[in-house]
Amino acid sequence: MDKIITQQLTDIANTFRERHLCALFEADPSRGRRYYVETANLWLNYSRNHLDDSAIEHLLMLANKSALDEKRQALFSGETLNQSETRAAKHTLLRAPLKPHDADSVEIHQVLKQMASFVADIQSNQIIADTVITDVVCIGIGGSELGTRIVHQALSASMRPRVQLHFLANIDGTAAKSVMRRVTKESTLFLITSKTFTTIETLQNFATLKAWFTQDFTEQAFMKRCYAITANPDAAIDLKFENKQIFKFWDWVGGRFSLWSAVGLPIAIAYGMETFSELLAGANQMDGHFLHTPFHENLPVMLALIHIWYGNFLGYPTRAVIPYAQKLEKFPAYLQQLEMESLGKSIDIEGQRLQYPTSPIIWGSAGSNGQHAFFQLLHQGSQIVPVDFIAALEPEHEFVDHHNALLANCLAQSQTLMTGGAIDKKEHGHFNGNRPSNFILMQKLTPFCLGQLLALYEHKVFTQSVIWNINAFDQWGVELGKRIASDILAHQTPNRPMTFADIQATFSHPHCADGKNTPDCDDSA
């Protein structure tokens, strides 16, 4: 980050140490209307933050100094932004209209047609002769599962899925056992999603379900019900998948941005290709907003700058995300991967160690449940935790009084965090307030608006990565653990339970990064 602007922002931040948010509203009663940006069906009010016009002006200067405009153009033009892996990051192309002269776009839309045909065959009972498909088991982990799961959860509360989706991610055998108990073999399809088709958890779960299925049926019957979603078709073919059973995506599709590709096939199966298309359209709308809108009116840019302001200048190391929508209960978990895997870096793109913090710790849960769990800490805890509140103006159900009560609670929490107050004369009943929050409001939690919301946070993360000068599209910290797990497993005898002695041996002979049993393999200093 630019040192001169950073110092100016640090000086501005210090002026807010003794300034209460209520005082900012008293000095400028119009800030609730001015500190506000919007695009179709989506609004952000950021007035309840320790910001003034000078802080915003300098944050915008920071964005301009980082060449954000050039970098967002590079993102959409398919330049190699993932430099550590020499790849582009063209996930926005996955939700864009067909570009006949772009080979990647043509191939993307060919896969979309393949998906639509597959969905139609399921609906017309043509996948397995004379068999109605009732269940689909989605085997995959991380980006191969999280995005699809959050969309499924969001849609299933108001739309009846045409088939039941079951997600199998964890390598814990109880997860596989749970799926086995809930499905009927003959009427179930299995989608195996892995970018490389080498993911340990995914292949182990695939093998376990195969062994379970073939207790009663042939391997041929099992494979007839299996479909691969991967960027490595050759590896799928090696595992006896036929070409017609493979849905392709590409190595430039990062896992946490892969929902928009064939990885989102379970959504199309359960809710129809038209619903998946609406999701893509919402994300594409946000793409256009991010690409073409000036920074001061740009939702992803302004949200990113506020989050940078929290961590780099006000010193808040964590942020809560509280969706007042039961359908978005798992949205904080989705953001944990999107934000912490993308931004959890301590090395910049030139390979230099950073001298400033990057990703905060993201956590949260659905409101109003959280009010009866961790909101005590938000209101009276010794650390200040900024909050992103998310809500929908219109309900997806007929219970208007329920929705009014939900919104009232959301608004009340945001207001109380700012104003504070007292419910008892004793000190324990006093709330200082002065705790920041953002308020994100959707018109209605439709597939279109959900696509907008997910893309909003994607572009926010990209904006932060540009300003911090880090690569948002790699995840080397994930890869090392996978390698060591494989090494540990290689020393175990198949089908023999691991013993206490086996576990103790890993502490006696740690697998350090340099391959030596020495303390200097720790690079955390």
| Residues tagged active-site | 341, 372, 482
The amino acid occupying position 205 is N
> What is the three-state SS of 432-495?
CCCCCEEEEEEEECCHHHHHHHHHHHHHHHHHHHHHHCCCCCCCHHHHHHHHHHHHHHHCCCCC
Instruction: Supply 410's token pair.
Output: 């959301």
| Sequence-separated (6 or more) residues with CB below 8 Å from residue 351 | none
CB 394 within 8 A of CB 404: no
* DSSP summary character for residue 339: I
3-state secondary structure 176-203: HHHHHHHCCHHHEEEEEECCCCCCHHHH
Do residues 253 and 135 lie in contact, with contact meaning Cβ atoms separated by under 8 Å? Answer: no
Q: What is the distance between the alpha carbons of residues 305 and 125, in angstroms, rounded to a whole number?
A: 50
Q: Specify whether the CB–CB gap between 73 and 468 falls below 8 A.
A: no
The token pair at 372 is 């009866």
Whole-angstrom distance, CA of residue 335 vs CA of residue 385:
16
Dihedral, 194, 195, 201, 204 alpha carbons, nearest 10: 60
Question: Would you say 432 and 269 are in contact if contact means Cβ atoms under 8 Å apart?
Answer: no
CB 468 within 8 A of CB 348: yes
Phi, psi of 226 (to 5 degrees): -110, 140
Calculate the CA 219 to chain-centre distance: 36
**Who contacts 236 (Cβ-Cβ below 8 Å, separation ≥6)?**
192, 197, 228, 230, 245, 246
Pairing state of beta strands 421-422 and 361-363? unpaired
Report the distance separating Cα 510 and Cα 131, nearest Å: 52
Report the C-alpha gap between 175 and 205 in whole angstroms.
9
For residues 304 and 467, is the Cβ–Cβ distance under 8 A? yes
Q: Could you tell me if 227 and 206 are in contact, meaning their C-beta atoms sit under 8 angstroms apart?
A: no
User: In 10 A of CB 184, how many CB atoms?
Assistant: 8
432 is written with which tokens?
């200082």
Closest CA to 273 of 457, 100, 121: 121
Contact 331, 321 (CB under 8 A): yes
